[in-house]
Structure 1
Amino acid sequence: MPASKQVRALSDAQIEQFIQDGFVRIDHAFPRELAEQGRAILWRDLPCDPDDPATWTEPVIRLGYYGDEPFRKAVNTPQLHTAFDQLVGRGRWWPRADLGTFPVRFPSPRDPGDAGWHVDVSFPAEHTSADNPDYAAWRVNVTSRGRALLMLFLFSDVGESDAPTRIRPGSHLDMARYLEPAGEAGMSHFIPDTMGSGRPEVLATGEAGTVYLCHPFLVHAAQMHRGSAPRFMAQPPLHPAKPFRLARPDGDYSPVERSIRLALQARG
């Protein structure tokens, strides 16, 4: 794994916020120039004209798995690597060479059809394979098998009207308690839409170059785009190099593990 700088990317207060709220926002996590270069690559592959809103006929178009230099550099800044160490644990995550999928959202009065509250699944059921495209069969469990973090990379400026991801702070604690009875087998992604419904709602806004590092159990949702310019955001997982453990003899728990333990202890 590339060595991270010894400086702290996140303060103690930010780590505590992550444990309690399930996310932390990092401004200027990667250079704005990389966001501009990345958008140019994505526009190249979109079936519409960046200068002609009349061609923006779909509310959302998904692109993905680009290994081009702007994306590779954006996800591998020293600041982010250090933050990964702080939240997941040094030596416990795999570096990424791409940024996964980009759901590019366009201003539209149409419902995008994917705006329900959910958590992201991370591993296939026993009767499926990792290459199975049927994500209805994929699952999530209380030790977050296969996913160390959910990450939101803003490649365009995102204001309140620009379809920012909706986040329910603290919902990762509710989700941990919901998943615990299912054990290692876990559950499908069809969680109750009311999961975390008593929690406040936060919008993942920010300038291009902003990154939200989220607990894998954080309940979140897309929404309609009511602004004027397309929104470019990547939402890749950070993959674990080692499984999360909720019982460590040495007590060396990562903040991701600490939050799950906090949730389960609160259940009594």
Structure 2
Amino acid sequence: MSIAQDIALTPLQVETFINDGFIKIDNAFSSDLAQDCRNELWADLGLAQDRPETWTEPVVRIGWKSSPSFVAAANTPRLHAAYNTLVGEGLWLAPQGLGTFPIRFPSSKSAGDEGWHIDVSFGTENPDFMEWRANVLSSGRALLMLFLLSDVGPDDAPTLIRKGSHATIARELLPYGKAGATLRELSAEGYASTKDCEIALATGAAGTVYLCHPFLVHSAQPHHGTEPRFMAQPPLMPSMEFDPKLPPSPVQIAIRKACGLTI
């Protein structure tokens, strides 16, 4: 098998992305890169890896990181091939790093950030983040991505994912047109429209990446394990708006299928 064939997404993976709203890519980047990234993040945290008594907060957030290890992790050939397949060749911008990092520690305290939501993608200049917006064109975001920088098991605060919820959100965004809906409007009912979706856990070994549809409903949860969970949740940025003259990407096909539009 050629290297290109080895890293390409299969038709089944593309179909899964369209129907479920996400795919899991094992070994998207190396465990050595994951370790390098964790080492940098530990240094930023200023906490002792071998002294759990210093881990006093349930979550600590670190912003964007653009040092070489983070750039390399986001730009492996396997991931570039997946970006091309899901978004379209030339229609995304190569990540210049990773972030943000919600680093979760074992704790009996709530972090206060658990709750179902989507990641809105434009209007972020508004100081009221509840006025940030998303639209049916997914302006400002090509993918939601979850980079596992540490091993994440069921007890290690894996992100909760509502399978297929992206289709419901696409239908809800359609009437708002290009102007889109605010986070306040989208969350008014607590995403009750997606409550019956099957729940998946974003688990995996360090080096795993979940590539998700921008409209996928997801949630944080408390950490009941023993080791801190390191994850990055960056967007993949588009290079342009959807162009109707181009063949639709799987991201667009999922939206059109959900809204009953011609694919």
Shorter-chain TM band: over 0.9
> Given the alignment, which residue of 220, 223, 226 partners 2:221?
223
Which runs of 5 or more residues in structure 1 are unaligned? 125-129
Where do residues 102-141 of structure 1 align in structure 2 (5 Å cutoff)? 102-124=101-123, 131-132=125-126, 134-141=128-135
Equivalent position of 1:64 in the other structure: 63
Q: For residues 156 and 178 of structure 2, what CA distance do their matches in structure 1 show?
A: 38
Report the secondary structure of 1:121's partner residue: coil
Is 1:173 paired with 2:173? no
Equivalent position of 2:248 in the other structure: 253
> Given the alignment, which residue of 188, 192, 195 partners 2:193?
195
CA apart distance, 1:242: 1.4
CA apart distance, 1:196: 1.1
Q: For residues 67 and 126 of structure 2, what CA distance do their matches in structure 1 show?
A: 26
Contact 1:195 1:219 (C-alpha < 8 Å) held by counterparts = no
Amino acid at match of 1:198: D
Equivalent position of 1:127 in the other structure: none
CA RMSD of aligned residues (A): 1.4
Equivalent position of 2:151 in the other structure: 157
Give deviations 1:19-59, integer Å, cap 9, x for gaps: 00000000000000000010000000114211111111111
Q: For residues 58 and 223 of structure 1, what CA distance do their matches in structure 2 show?
A: 14
TM superposition score normalised by structure 2: 0.93
Give deviations 1:161-184, integer Å, cap 9, x for gaps: 000000001000000001111111
Amino acid at match of 1:173: A
CA apart distance, 1:61: 0.5
Q: For residues 173 and 13 of structure 1, what CA distance do their matches in structure 2 show?
A: 18
Q: For residues 57 and 48 of structure 1, what CA distance do their matches in structure 2 show?
A: 10
Give deviations 1:119-162, integer Å, cap 9, x for gaps: 001000xxxxx545542221001111000000000000000000
* The 10-residue stretch of structure 1 (29-38 or 184-193) with the greater mean CA deviation from structure 2: 184-193
Is 1:243 paired with 2:241? yes
Equivalent position of 1:265 in the other structure: 260
Question: Structure 1 segments of 4 or more deviating over 3 A?
Answer: 5-8, 130-134
**Pairs aligned (count):** 254
TM superposition score normalised by structure 1: 0.91
Q: For residues 35 and 211 of structure 2, what CA distance do their matches in structure 1 show?
A: 21
Report the secondary structure of 1:61's partner residue: strand
Report the secondary structure of 1:212's partner residue: strand
Report the secondary structure of 2:255's partner residue: helix
Is 1:77 paired with 2:76? yes
Q: For residues 127 and 36 of structure 2, what CA distance do their matches in structure 1 show?
A: 30
Report the secondary structure of 2:71's partner residue: helix
